[in-house]
């Protein structure tokens, strides 16, 4: 489990770094946008001063510089309205209205939105009485320029594109890695089955010779059972990676065979109980691989109970599926490990590769189109695994 936890820590560290980089990028972009927005506000204050100067101009005033400032604003949307809300002028607006009346209403609506957003500068027509409620004034309502709006949304768009790219790259990498691992495991399994084939055939022949030579020996039939067991193990390895060939099997008989095999090899302090229906349950399955799954669950249960406790195997039909539950009285699993226990490499034992439950999950889900999951578990009480076909 240390190796698996180390991998999880590396993944967590990479994700944390990615989040820090993303947050840092958004923060820097926010500072940049804030500075640009402040710059646009200062520009609008200058524009408002130019507008006041134009309103106060007389025949002797040189308005060339004022007009240059006013006409220089070609990117910031601005609306000038009088105290009563009447529109005096506007520029850099994109209107969707089809006639003049609709245009006025749309401009008034935009001015209200700008006002509520706090983007307004008030200029008094009589500065000597600008604190009086009766004084006339104009309001310069403005909005962010198109460039500023684009800069505001650009970091989020950039972050989204980067996340999509990273997700696609990780998905492709993980898919490729998983496919490569599958090829390695399939090749290793088939090679193991091939290598076991010759000595198993030889052992089977020797068992037959021993039976003829010592017909009354009680140990030779047990040797034959172990050799047939080896043959089944080799058959299981040979089926990994191949298309399943399901056949109708008696689930009750299969579970009884597994219990008989486990009971002989387990401690006498382990009590195995079966709750099977009287009517045999018929299921289409690959019996040798399904036996492997139940054996793995039972062996893990014995390890969790440290060789002392009770295993209960229950089988029943529920609506349109068949259910097998393996319950133990072991040390239990924390809830945050319910999914992790099926990951390759995860193990709580000092020895072992952590592949048993991973292979069980693959056999049930890919070969039998079913489900396997932790139904319930409590620390110090026990765990129940549920298989649905």
**318 burial via Cβ count (<10 Å: 0-12, 13-18, 19+):** exposed
What is the structure's pLDDT at 207?
86
In a domain, 159, yes or no: no
Report residue 350's pLDDT band, with 50, 70 and 90 as the boundaries.
Answer: low
43 and 107 belong to one structural domain: yes
84 and 188 belong to one structural domain: no
Region 347-367 average pLDDT = 73
In a domain, 150, yes or no: no
What is the structure's pLDDT at 242?
64
Residue 174 pLDDT greater than 80, yes or no = no
CATH of the domain at 294: 3.30.565.10
Strongest mean pLDDT among 66-80, 192-206, 303-317, 353-367: 303-317
Residue 346 pLDDT greater than 70, yes or no = no
> 133 or 18: which carries more pLDDT confidence?
18
pLDDT in tens, 119-158: 888 887 765 545 545 467 788 888 888 888 888 887 778 7
Report residue 250's pLDDT band, with 50, 70 and 90 as the boundaries.
Answer: very high
Region 373-382 average pLDDT = 90
384 and 252 belong to one structural domain: yes
In a domain, 13, yes or no: no
Residue 1 pLDDT greater than 60, yes or no = no
Dihedral Cα 177, 178, 181, 185, nearest 10 deg: -170
- In 3D, which of 303, 314, 301, 296 has the Cα closest to residue 255? 314
In angstroms, the CA 293 to CA 385 distance is: 11
Residue 71 pLDDT greater than 60, yes or no = yes
Region 375-387 average pLDDT = 91
CA angle 192–193–194, rounded 5-degree value: 90
What is the structure's pLDDT at 199?
85
214 and 86 belong to one structural domain: no
Domain boundary among 225, 242, 259: 242
Region 98-118 average pLDDT = 83
Strand pairing report for 270-275 and 309-318: parallel
Number of domain units in the chain: 3
In a domain, 60, yes or no: yes
101 and 41 belong to one structural domain: yes
Report residue 255's pLDDT band, with 50, 70 and 90 as the boundaries.
Answer: very high
In a domain, 360, yes or no: yes
In a domain, 65, yes or no: yes
294 and 236 belong to one structural domain: no
In angstroms, the CA 155 to CA 166 distance is: 16
Region 213-232 average pLDDT = 83
Residue 351 pLDDT greater than 60, yes or no = no
248 and 378 belong to one structural domain: yes
CB-based contacts of 296, cutoff 8 Å, min separation 6? 356, 357, 359, 360
pTM score: 0.51
% of the chain exceeding 90 in pLDDT: 13
227 and 277 belong to one structural domain: no
In angstroms, the CA 183 to CA 177 distance is: 10
In angstroms, the CA 212 to CA 90 distance is: 111
What is the structure's pLDDT at 354?
56
What is the structure's pLDDT at 52?
79
259 and 372 belong to one structural domain: yes
Residue 184 pLDDT greater than 70, yes or no = no
Are the C-beta atoms of 293 and 339 separated by less than 8 Å?
no
302 and 336 belong to one structural domain: yes
Domain span at residue 28 reads: 20-144
Region 204-209 average pLDDT = 87
Helix (H, G, I), strand (E, B) or coil at 8: helix
Q: Which of 65-79, 125-139, 145-159, 172-186 has the lowest mean pLDDT?
A: 125-139
Strongest mean pLDDT among 55-64, 73-82, 347-356: 73-82
Region 319-333 average pLDDT = 90
Which residue do the tokens 């609306």 mark? 79
378 and 294 belong to one structural domain: yes
Of all helices (H) and strands (E), which one includes residue 76?
none
């Amino acid at each position: 489990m240390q190796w698996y936890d180390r991998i999880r820590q590396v993944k967590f560290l990479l994700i944390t770094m990615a989040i820090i980089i993303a947050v840092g990028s958004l923060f820097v972009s926010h500072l940049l946008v804030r500075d640009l927005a402040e710059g646009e506000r200062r520009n609008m204050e200058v524009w408002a001063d130019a507008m006041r100067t134009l309103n106060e101009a007389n025949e002797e005033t040189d308005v060339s510089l004022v007009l240059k400032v006013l006409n220089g604003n070609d990117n910031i949307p601005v609306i000038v309205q009088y105290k009563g809300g009447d529109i005096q002028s506007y520029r850099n607006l994109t209107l969707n209205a089809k006639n003049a009346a609709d245009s006025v209403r749309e401009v008034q609506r935009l001015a209200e939105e700008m006002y509520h957003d706090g983007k307004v500068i008030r200029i008094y027509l009589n500065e000597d009485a600008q604190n009086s409620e009766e004084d006339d004034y104009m309001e310069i309502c403005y909005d962010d320029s198109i460039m500023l709006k684009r800069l505001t949304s650009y970091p989020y768009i950039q972050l989204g594109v980067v996340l999509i790219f990273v997700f696609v790259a990780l998905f492709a990498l993980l898919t490729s890695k998983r496919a490569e691992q599958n090829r390695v495991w399939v090749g290793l399994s088939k090679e193991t089955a091939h290598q076991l084939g010759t000595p198993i055939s030889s052992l089977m022949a020797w068992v037959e010779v021993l039976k003829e030579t010592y017909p009354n020996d009680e140990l030779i039939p047990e040797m034959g059972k172990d050799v047939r067991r080896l043959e089944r193990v080799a058959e299981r390895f040979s089926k990994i990676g191949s298309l399943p060939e399901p056949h109708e099997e008696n689930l009750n008989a299969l579970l009884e065979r597994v219990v008989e095999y486990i009971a002989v090899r387990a401690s006498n302090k382990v009590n195995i109980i079966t709750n099977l229906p009287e009517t045999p349950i018929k299921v289409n399955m690959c019996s040798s691989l399904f036996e492997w799954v139940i054996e793995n669950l039972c062996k893990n249960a014995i390890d969790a109970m440290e060789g002392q406790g009770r295993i209960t195997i229950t089988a029943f039909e529920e609506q349109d599926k068949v259910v097998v539950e393996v319950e133990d009285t072991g040390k239990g699993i924390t809830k945050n490990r319910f999914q992790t226990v099926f990951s390759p490499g995860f193990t709580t034992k000092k020895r072992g590769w952590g592949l048993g439950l991973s292979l069980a999950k693959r056999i049930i889900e890919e070969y039998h189109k079913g489900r396997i999951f932790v139904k319930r578990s409590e620390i110090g009480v026990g765990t129940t695994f549920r298989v649905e076909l």
